[in-house]
Amino acid sequence: MKTKAQKIKQVEEGTVAIKKSETLIFADFTGATVSELGKLKKALRETGAKFTVYKKRLLGLMFKNLNIDFDVKKFEGQVGTVLSPKHIADVAGPVYKFSREIIGTDKKERFQILGGFDLTGKRFLEAQEVKMIGQLPPREVLLGQLLGAVSGPLKMFLNILDQKSKVEVNKN
């Protein structure tokens, strides 16, 4: 059990960490093992994010310190928080992938995404929204798909013009 001084220090440090973040993702990690959570932490480190566990009451105090109107107590069970200085699109992918990897033998999720919080827009994201964002391919892949979708018809049009010009040259 932590002393009052340790809790005050944790609230102060947590408030600073949240202030530096752009995105928070909340997850129930009840069924996950320590080694599995270590894998998540490693994957998150690569994106600049970190997974931390705060007591819900202390997390509520951190939000209160930052004038954020959000009640963490609406979540049941243990709540872990992913703090990221980047946009949710950059961190939701690894969290979603991890939640899919550690499904138990009874087909139940042992790591459930509970939701997220966009600190720049000060809005809560439902669990389904975070999961949908996590399923999206990376930005570079999306840009490549967009480029392919735009350039494909253009190439076909240029090919038609080229063939038409060859036919007209042969007629003369």
Report yes or no: 46 and 138 within 8 Å, Cβ to Cβ: no
pLDDT of residue 171: 67
- The CB density around residue 24, as the number of other CB atoms within 10 Å, is 26
Secondary structure string (H, E, C) spanning 80-148: EEEEECCCHHHHHHHHHHHHHHCECCCCCECCEEEEEEECCCCEEEEHHHHHHHHHCCCHHHHHHHHHH
How sure is the predictor about 101, in pLDDT bands with cuts at 50, 70 and 90?
Answer: confident
Q: Is the pLDDT of residue 115 over 90?
A: yes
Q: Where are the domains of the chain?
A: 4-136, 138-172
% of the chain at pLDDT higher than 70: 94
Q: Is the pLDDT of residue 12 over 90?
A: yes
Q: Is the pLDDT of residue 106 over 80?
A: no
How sure is the predictor about 107, in pLDDT bands with cuts at 50, 70 and 90?
Answer: low
Q: Is the pLDDT of residue 26 over 90?
A: yes
pLDDT of residue 104: 58
Q: Is the pLDDT of residue 108 over 70?
A: no
Q: What is the pLDDT of residues 149-165, one digit of tens each?
A: 888 888 888 888 888 88
Q: What CATH class has 4-136? A: alpha beta
What is the pTM (predicted TM-score) of this model? Answer: 0.78
How sure is the predictor about 20, in pLDDT bands with cuts at 50, 70 and 90?
Answer: very high
The residue type at 68: I
Structure tokens at 138: 């990376």
